[in-house]
Amino acid sequence: METIWTKGIEAPVYPKLMNDISADALVIGGGMAGILCAKRLTDAGIDCVVLEADRVGRGITSGTTAVISAQHSVLYSDLISLFGRELAKGYLDSNLKAVRELSELAWGVDCDFEMRPSLMYSPHSKARMECEAAAVQSLGFHAEFTSGAPLGISSAGGVLFPDMAQFHPLKFLMSVAKGVKIYEHSPVLSVKNMSARTDSGSVTARNIIIASHFPFIDRRGLYFMKMRQKRESVVAVENIPPLRCTAVEDAEKGFFFRSIGNVTLIGCGNHDPGHEEDDFSKIALFLKNHAPEAREVCRWVNQDCFTLDEVPYIGRYYPASTNIFVATGFNAWGMTTSMVAADILTDAILGCENTYAKVFSPDRKMLAMPLLENSLHSAANLLTPTLPRCTHLGCALKYNKREHTWDCPCHGSRFADDGSVITGPAVKDLNIKS
């Protein structure tokens, strides 16, 4: 995927796994979460190996807006009412700690790191923004209620988190990955008896972290039932005044913004794979109304994993697992929560207690109604009789004319025109002729 971040980047090339090896820890997935986990483990003296299906950072990490913030949409008032103050505070504090840790790692590194406040604004509801600001303040963080929004957008009110940040995700990742043992072009086909098999070798490890965007071991954990993937479109433009904060609109398919140098990213979306919507026309209309002088630099579509209760899954892969872990479901806030995952999972493997582990535990009880809705959504696509069928659990695929891919509406697997897997949970290529 070509994005603003991949332009002009010459990334180091890592070898493909070509034999059977062993390690203390294996991380599956070379995106932000996987590399941060591996970095932490390597620095702690653990013999750690990363297996990346394609190139390091060239999956979801390269499509992100790379905002570092503990403000994850309008979240904290929801968390307090759904789960109580203790969990909400744990979520906030763990993410604030992650912001500090990422900032420390980024200082002194050539990764365009900048402190930036983050803003959530609502076009319609001042009361909702006031409620969220009060919820965050009650948890001990100095969020501010504000009336502004970027690019002259009309706003009923907003919540500002000061002292947040942004960076260039690939430059940062390349720096963090130094000293980490990585194999690229090594997609894992199966995990059995603590051994991960690729088509040209295997890694046997005492601990395994699955940080492959969408977890692919189905018989345990049932992540395909308790997660959804959503897609959003981003356009990078120049010739408009750079923004002084990162910003997100509080709406189901709202806009989001950040600037890097003289380029500004404008995105919107949040729809199921296989149900393409013309987000680019929506962004073009926005630019016509708010920044008609803008010139497009590039555009892309990204895909994020969403949990059913707004909290990522970080911890044991399934309740009885002692040495298989997962980091997924970052709800489109993957930079900061990747650092949270690295903290929690490194502590788990080193046998250290982590105050925030229970907040993100994948063992938690699922909310009944979203679970039912998610299951019905998948069942409807499973019963659709058209060909071809997804190699994950057999749902009917839909052809995405704009990107020339086969997309699965059930759990979000995507396949290239030649049938090769682009995005999991599918691990097996599609036989296009079947």
Q: Which residues bind ligand FES (CB under 6 A)?
A: 224, 390, 392-395, 408, 410-413, 425-426
Nearer to ligand FES, 231 or 411 (CB): 411
Q: Please state, in angstroms and as integers, the Cα–Cα distance from residue 301 to each residue in 248, 291, 292, following that order.
A: 17, 21, 22
User: Distance between CA 257 and CA 313 in Å, rounded?
Assistant: 26
Q: How far is the CB of 275 from ligand FES (least distance, A)?
A: 14
By CB neighbour count within 10 A (0-12 exposed, 13-18 middle, 19+ buried), where does 376 fall? exposed
From the CB of 382, what's the least distance to ligand FES, in Å? 7
The amino acid present at 151, given as its one-letter code, is: L
CB of 377 to ligand FES, least distance (A): 11
Query: What kind and span of H or E run contains 357?
Result: helix 357-360
CB of 88 to ligand FES, least distance (A): 32
Least Å distance between CB 169 and ligand FES?
25
Please give the single-letter amino acid code of residue 213.
Answer: H
Cβ at position 370, least distance to ligand FES in Å: 17
CB of 413 to ligand FES, least distance (A): 4
Within 10 angstroms of residue 434's Cβ, the number of other Cβ atoms is 9
Nearest distance, CB of residue 394 and ligand FES, angstroms:
6
For residues 354 and 381, which CB has a smaller minimum distance to ligand FES in the complex? Answer: 381
Rounded-to-integer distance, Cα 161 and Cα 116, Å: 9
Given strand 398-400, what is the order of strands in its sheet?
A: 398-400, 405-407, 414-416, 421-423
Q: Which residues contact 387 (CB under 8 A, 6 or more apart)?
A: 396, 434
At its nearest, how many Å lie between ligand FES and the CB of residue 316?
Answer: 23
- The one-letter code for the residue type at 88 is A
Contact 66, 335 (CB under 8 A): yes
Q: From the CB of 9, what's the least distance to ligand FES, in Å?
A: 30
Of 178 and 219, nearer to ligand FES (C-beta) is 219
Tokens found for residue 13: 């090339």
Asked whether 329 and 312 are in contact (CB, 8 A), the reply is yes
Within 10 angstroms of residue 337's Cβ, the number of other Cβ atoms is 27
What CA–CA distance (Å, rounded) separates 62 from 168? Answer: 9
Q: Which is nearer to ligand FES, 56 or 408 (CB)?
A: 408
Q: Which is nearer to ligand FES, 39 or 411 (CB)?
A: 411
Radius of gyration of the chain (CA): 21
CA distances from 37 to 312, 334, 343, 405 (A): 16, 13, 8, 31
Least Å distance, CB 411 to ligand FES, is 3
Nearer to ligand FES, 175 or 384 (CB): 384
Beta strands 181-183 and 295-307: pairing type? unpaired
| Cα–Cα distance for residue pair 316/208, rounded to 1 Å | 10
Q: Which is nearer to ligand FES, 195 or 384 (CB)?
A: 384
The C-alpha atoms of residue 251 and residue 282 are separated, in whole angstroms, by: 14
Q: Measured from the CB atom, is 74 or 395 closer to ligand FES?
A: 395
Q: Judged by CB, which is closer to ligand FES: 180, or 426? A: 426
Spatial distance between the Cα atoms of 405 and 127, rounded to a whole number of angstroms? 42
Q: 320 or 383: whose CB is closer to ligand FES? A: 383
Cα→Cα distances 410→272, 277, 369, Å: 9, 17, 17
Nearest to ligand FES of 183, 306 (CB atom): 306
